[in-house]
Amino acid sequence: MHVQPLLLSSLNVVGSTLRGGKTSAPSAAQPQQSSQPEDELILSPEAQAAATDEAAASSGLQELTPEEQEQVDQLKARDQEVRQHEQAHLGAAGGFAQGGPTFTYQQGPDGQRYAIGGEVQIDTSPVDGDPEATIQKARVIQAAAQAPAEPSAQDKAVAAAAAQLLQSAQQELRERQADPEAAEGLDGEQLLASIDVNSAAEESSTSTAASEAQQAGPSAVRNYFLKEAQEAYSAANPPSAGNLFLLA
């Protein structure tokens, strides 16, 4: 901001002013009286206006029109709503929240920034190899998504994803409880060692059992590698894994 230079005027008054408007030298009968120099600070109109505007802006006393004041009131209400919304998510998410909330801001007519949107990033990936922990995590995510008084559409989508994660983990837990040995599974070497793919070729081709074994051996190998591929794909692309956002 350009401020006009200050104009200094120094007025020195020496002697006394006569009624007739003339000045005379001091007489012997009357002692000489002299006044001290008086300095006056004079601002140009431009400098005065600039100083007034700067003082009003710095003190926050800028006058707003009724329309601008209404907009500021709306922004203040929205800012409070957004912050309360995201704080509700954060408080219920526990350790699954990925950092604090982030906000989108809008500047109001008063020059202040107000939050008009926000988000909390939350981890929705399953707990590897632990369906019980995944069930607990899914329930926490559901609670965090539904924590605000008025969940947004994105919040409801996150809650739905958590419900799917919960169902999947519950199904896995039931399967493990029904067949603990099958839940542990065989590793690749154990599975291949249990399958003799050449046994059928060594037996008589007229034997039905040998024929079935001949077909079952390669099929089991193919099923094993198919299962491995499916598990690898599921691990890389879980249906509800990753991080989702809870929005205001």
Q: Are 33 and 76 in the same domain? A: no
Q: What is the pLDDT of residue 239?
A: 45
Considering the domain architecture, whether residues 219 and 239 belong to the same structural domain is answered as yes
Lookup: tokens for 126: 């399953």
Based on the fold, state whether residues 97 and 168 are members of the same structural domain.
yes
pLDDT band of 37, cuts 50, 70, 90:
low
Q: Are residues 74 and 191 in the same domain?
A: yes
Nearest alpha-carbon partner for 213 in 230, 232, 194, 231: 194
Q: How many CA atoms lie within 13 Å of 58's alpha carbon, on the beta-carbon side?
A: 6
| 38: Cβ contacts below 8 Å, ≥ 6 apart | 10, 11, 13
In the DSSP assignment, the letter for residue 17 is B
Q: Which domain holds residue 33?
A: 7-58
Q: What is the pLDDT of residues 162-213, one digit of tens each?
A: 999 999 999 999 999 998 765 555 444 443 444 444 444 444 444 444 444 4
Q: Are residues 186 and 82 in the same domain?
A: yes
The answer to whether residue 48 scores a pLDDT higher than 80 is no
Pair (127, 218) in one structural domain: yes
Task: Flag whether 1 is in a domain.
Answer: no
Tens of pLDDT, residue by residue over 82-126, are 999 999 999 999 999 999 999 999 999 999 999 999 999 999 999
Looking at residue 194, its pLDDT comes to 44
Residues 72 and 53 in one domain: no
152 and 228 assigned to the same domain? yes
**At 111, is the secondary structure helix, strand, or coil?**
coil
Q: At what angle do helices 131-145 and 153-178 cross, to 10 degrees?
A: 160
Number of domains in the chain: 2
Euclidean distance between the first and the last CA atom of the chain, given in angstroms as a whole number: 39
Q: Are residues 41 and 77 in the same domain?
A: no
Residues 49 and 128 in one domain: no
Beta strands in the chain (DSSP E): 7-11, 38-42, 102-107, 113-123, 243-247
Does the residue 108 lie in any domain?
yes
> Taking the model in full, what pTM does it have?
0.52
